[in-house]
Amino acid sequence: DARVTQTPRHKVTEMGQEVTMRCQPILGHNTVFWYRQTMMQGLELLAYFRNRAPLDDSGMPKDRFSAEMPDATLATLKIQPSEPRDSAVYFCASVWGQGLSNYGYTFGSGTRLTVV
Amino acid sequence: KNQVEQSPQSLIILEGKNCTLQCNYTVSPFSNLRWYKQDTGRGPVSLTIMTFSENTKSNGRYTATLDADTKQSSLHITASQLSDSASYICVVSSVGGRSGGGADGLTFGKGTHLIIQP
């Protein structure tokens, strides 16, 4: 089965440290999303790319978060400096084309981030 | 603002019993509605997707219904199994771009946490 691969699966870090999360989308998918999930807020969109170009990052705190897609097989989400309120599960998802009506919208298993 | 509300927030039932999860939405214009299952420690996995013209769709023991007039959907689980314990997330797509909720018009509910007890 094709899958979205995220690394690391778990990350514990101290406040103020830099955190980088990685995502390998499904080969051939040209749209990649980053979501954050907490118990209180559910799934929230942080940013997404199409054909490696950033389309929307309005959900991200710009002063500390950055998302990039250096090539078609890798998307990164970086937090610098990290804060305890960033503790959450971060999901990557990929799809071909627009996310509106596409059946092939696939999530990775997530990175569970704990900032102490 | 487009919203998706799910109920109940959590539910505990005995193995073998049936249950129904609810999803009410205020998303316009509507494109489709999806139900996802999210196991603990995993990403969401799609169960069903329904467009405006579909009012029921099944996937094994899961049956989703959609009433586009009242903007309500339900997910019915028949003969529950321990492996059905998970969160179930309702997601509504809007036509024509951002709906105020997510990428390309996706609005997520906060999910129903279902626990099946032996």
Per-residue pLDDT tens over the stretch B37-55: 999 989 999 999 998 889 9
| Residue B75 in tokens | 């997910």
pLDDT number for residue A112? 97
Q: How far is A104 from chain B (nearest CA, A)?
A: 9
- Do the Cβ atoms of B94 and A91 come within 8 Å? no
pLDDT number for residue B100? 42
| One-letter amino acid for residue A13 of the chain | T
B102 band by pLDDT with thresholds 50, 70 and 90: very low
pLDDT number for residue A98? 60
Q: How far is A33 from chain B (nearest CA, A)?
A: 8
Distances, alpha carbon A87 to alpha carbons A53, A55, A63, A79, A111, in Å: 27, 25, 17, 11, 10
Res. A102: pLDDT tops 60: no
User: Each residue of A78-92: pLDDT tens digit?
Assistant: 999 999 999 999 999
Residues of B within an 8 Å Cβ radius of A: 31-32, 34, 41-46, 49, 51, 89, 93-95, 98, 101-106, 108-111
pLDDT number for residue A96? 80
Average pLDDT in the A25-43 region? 91
pLDDT number for residue B94? 79
pLDDT number for residue B103? 52
Give CA torsion, residues B50, A41, B97, A98, to 10 deg.
Answer: -60
- Do the Cβ atoms of A91 and B43 come within 8 Å? yes
Q: Reduce the secondary structure of chain B to three states and give it as a string.
A: CCCEEEECCEEEEECCCCEEEEEEECCCCEEEEEEEEECCCCCCEEEEEEECCCCEEEECCEEEEEECCCCEEEEEECCCCHHHCEEEEEEEEECCCCCCCCHHHEEECCCEEEEEEC
Mean pLDDT across chain A, nearest whole number?
91
B101 band by pLDDT with thresholds 50, 70 and 90: very low
Residue of A60, A98, A105, A111 to mutate, interface with B, max B Cβ within 10 Å: A105
User: Each residue of B52-96: pLDDT tens digit?
Assistant: 889 999 999 999 999 999 999 999 999 999 999 999 999 998 765
pLDDT number for residue A41? 86
Q: Which residues of A touch B106 (CB under 8 A)?
A: 45, 99-100
Q: Around B28, how many Cα atoms within 13 Å sit in the side-chain half-sphere?
A: 6
A65 band by pLDDT with thresholds 50, 70 and 90: very high
Average pLDDT in the A20-43 region? 92
Contact B52, B67 (CB under 8 A): no
